[in-house]
Amino acid sequence: MQAMDNTLQDLVERIRTAAASGTALRIRGGGTLDFYGQAFAGEVLDTRAYAGVTSYEPSELVVTARAGTSLAELEALLEQQGQCLPFEPPHFAADMGAGATVGGMVAAGLSGPARASVGSVRDYVLGISMINGRGDALTFGGQVMKNVAGYDVSRLLAGSLGILGLITDLSLKVLPVAPAQATLRFEKNQAAALQALNEWGGLPLPLNASAWSDGAGGGSLMVRLRGAVAAVRAACSKMGGERLDDAAALHGWQALRHHTHPFFSQPVAGGLCLWRLSVAQSAPALDLPEQQLVEWHGGLRWLWAPAADAPRIRAAARQAGGHATLFRCSSEADRQAGVFEPLATPLNRIHRELKQQFDPAGIFNPGRLYADL
């Protein structure tokens, strides 16, 4: 405990020194998300020395861990108690036992295949401790939902990519692993798959995740069901399709979660970037010529296209009620197209005022979220 206190104090002193000198700091955990966001700047502030689960109450469905804790370690601990992080955070590492950290998971705010049915990482953050740009230790939220009152800063930090401060400790809501699950496969083109997903979404079915991709016969749709044994069995009977072997299905969902699925391999043709389009689930097939991978019951569309096509792709996403993110670039120059959707003037002002309040010297991850922020 004393060693962790000393580590935390070292981080505070490092931040205060940087603020006094105006030195930029690049907050970094396992580095598995180095590809995500705008260009990096500053000296590395490594969080991995500040690690460990400090509190876990399985009966209360709450776990508290330091930001540098290995995500794989945390999930292994939860698994021993038959519990999990339902939003399936991606690890983005060839070796799933190393790399990703709990702090990086929240700072990136990314979720896996089940996100559309169970919610995002932000929905499971109960409380956060952080160090702001003045070197002050702050705590927001707590270990139960009713502790969240006033401005919900703990959830504000989810997806902020470290531009507001250094996350040090997190309390997360966890859930029991579902007693039953099954994966069904259907041969459908994209339009038919989206229509089916919309119809199923209006029925009392234990839908948990879905994924459509181009394939033989015009496309293949996988749907994962999770819930009570009777509910999953009844849904399989009602929906039809081909039920996949559990082991093969698990491999497929893990590949989607961690981006080891063949679709996410860099195409042979050079200069292509991976685009992530978050749109309304009810949106029809987009008027885009590229092959796509569709997740989240239609709410997430992936495709490969040049960064220069940003205006065309972002216009299509906006028309479908969403936005487009340049998720993986083929070169650093591609980031000039802007990784994230440009902010409207009112939102831009809010972002800047928040940055000023939390990080007045502008030392944390400058330019990571937006080039001029």
Residue pLDDT, tens place only, 191-211: 999 999 999 999 999 999 999
The confidence score (pLDDT) of residue 149 equals: 53
**For residue 239, what is the enclosing H or E element?**
helix 229-239
Residues 197 and 165 in one domain: no
Domain range for 214 = 180-262
pLDDT digits (tens, 9 = 90+) for 243-266: 999 999 999 999 999 999 999 998
pLDDT band with cut points at 50, 70 and 90 for residue 269: confident
Residues 199, 277, single domain; the answer is no
The answer on 168 and 209 residing in a single domain is no
Specify if 197 maps to a domain.
Answer: yes
Domain limit, last residue, from 176, 207, 224 = 176
Domain membership of residue 368 (yes or no) is: no
Same-domain status, 32 and 140: yes
* pLDDT single digits (tens) 279-332: 999 999 999 999 999 999 999 999 999 999 999 999 999 999 999 999 999 888
C-alpha 101/C-alpha 279 separation (Å) is 28
**Of 256, 169, 246, which Cα lies nearest the Cα of 212?**
256
For residue 349, is it within any domain? no
Per-residue pLDDT at 40 exceeds 70: yes
Residues 154 and 47 in one domain: yes
Q: What is the pLDDT of residue 42?
A: 94
The pTM of this model reads 0.94
Nearest by Cα to 188 from 170, 215, 153 = 215
What's the confidence (pLDDT) of residue 228? 97
Mean pLDDT for the chain overall? 93
pLDDT at 146 > cutoff 90: no
Same domain, 38 and 74: yes
Q: How far apart are the first and last CA of the chain?
A: 36
Q: Which residues fall within 8 angstroms of residue 297, CB to CB, at 6 or more apart? A: 116, 117, 197, 198, 201, 207, 210, 281
Are residues 74 and 191 part of one domain? no
In a domain, 246, yes or no: yes
pLDDT band at 35 (very low <50, low <70, confident <90, very high): very high
